[in-house]
Amino acid sequence: MRKPKPAARRPAKTAGFGKLGGRLRKKRARKPAGSGFRLNVTLLFMEALGLIASAALASMLVLGNAARLFTGSDFFSNLLPFAIGVVALMAVAALLLLIWSKFRRWLRRRLAILPALLSIGLAAAMVEYVFNAGYTPVFTHFRALVGGKEQAAATTLSHQVYAAYRRYDEADLQKIMERSAQFDADIKDAALRFKLDPDILFGVAATESSFLPRDSKDGGHGLFQITAVPKFLLEQARQQLAAEKLSVFDSRHNAFIAAATLKHYLAEMNNDLFLGLLAYNIGPKNGGLKFIMEQYGATDFVTMQPYLQQLPRDYPIRVLSYSLAFRLWHQDGKLLAYQEGDNAAHIQRIGIPGLQAAL
């Protein structure tokens, strides 16, 4: 007699039973995949960011050098070679991108994070080179290339400031730095209250009085040689000082009045530093700088210079050359002779206060 076959065992059902249990198992299986996707996106983003930064800085380096090498207006000697260089740069960039796409596969087979790490490391190396390896001359040429007429004018004025600083006697500058010490806190406080670069305010004081407060023949008083100041600016200075009355013979009050006045003229000149300083020097007489510019049809400091007498025309240059000296004094703790060694490159890298530094 044959024994009956045992009934086939059915697989135990999950708590969810049937299709519901299957869906739950599938959802649990997808979780690691979602986490891996986010990781891949993050690594890809880091890699792209590093490559874009490296490519941008390298392009500036190449174009800046090309602008330096092919400076001029002759078609065959200057313009055509530069255009060929730009086309070559595009071709090389495409080739490097192709090489990278193949190389990154080899890197990912070893470790998924390697392409991102390498691209970020490359970008960091480029940034290090830009800020610490004599990149200033190349970047200056690149800015001249991109900035056009406006940048050319700014570069010309910057070199006027550097030339003025170069002509100063170091011993005389040293005395000015030492005399400024007793007014240091008041000038920095005034600059902070009116949101000005303190080195520019130091430069104004050096130009006006050489830090020897006195009354002048033309009616100037004190550290900043305060003369005719509109009443609303005096009120702004008084409020910042929380004083009942102002005295131009008080050096602290004098500094706050100067800061309020300079802030006003900078705003009136759309934050053009050269025009703002020129307006500060001219003051409200003859209708002020704005009226004079409209009269002569001047649009900026360069086009305004020929219509001015020698003293006011050079005023912003002298202020900023003194400001540059104070920037060096405050940052390096000493004055540097512009023409010695690598000082010129170092000074240009620090930059003129109030103007964009040349990296």
Structure tokens at 22: 């299957």
Confirm whether pTM is higher than 0.75. no
CB of 145 closer than 8 Å to CB of 64: yes
Q: What DSSP string runs through 303-318?
A: HHGGGS-HHHHHHHHH
Residues 6+ apart with CB under 8 A from 344: 162, 338
Cα of first residue to Cα of last residue in the chain, in angstroms, is 101
CATH number of 160-350: 1.10.530.10
Residues 6+ apart with CB under 8 A from 348: 136, 140, 162, 358
Each of the 359 residues of the chain gets a pLDDT tens digit; together they read 555 555 555 555 544 445 545 554 555 445 455 677 888 888 889 989 989 988 888 888 888 777 777 777 787 777 888 888 889 888 988 998 899 988 888 988 888 899 899 999 999 988 888 766 656 666 766 766 665 566 666 777 888 999 999 999 989 999 999 999 999 999 999 999 999 999 999 999 999 999 999 888 888 899 999 988 889 999 999 999 998 899 989 999 999 999 999 999 999 999 999 999 999 988 887 678 888 888 888 888 878 877 777 667 789 999 999 999 999 999 988 898 888 888 888 888 888 998 854 43
CB of 50 closer than 8 Å to CB of 120: yes
> What single letter denotes the amino acid at residue 24?
L
pLDDT value at position 311?
60
Q: Coil, strand or helix: which one is 207?
A: helix
The domains of the chain are located at: 19-133, 160-350
The helix (H) or strand (E) run that includes residue 222 is strand 221-222
Q: Coil, strand or helix: which one is 226?
A: strand
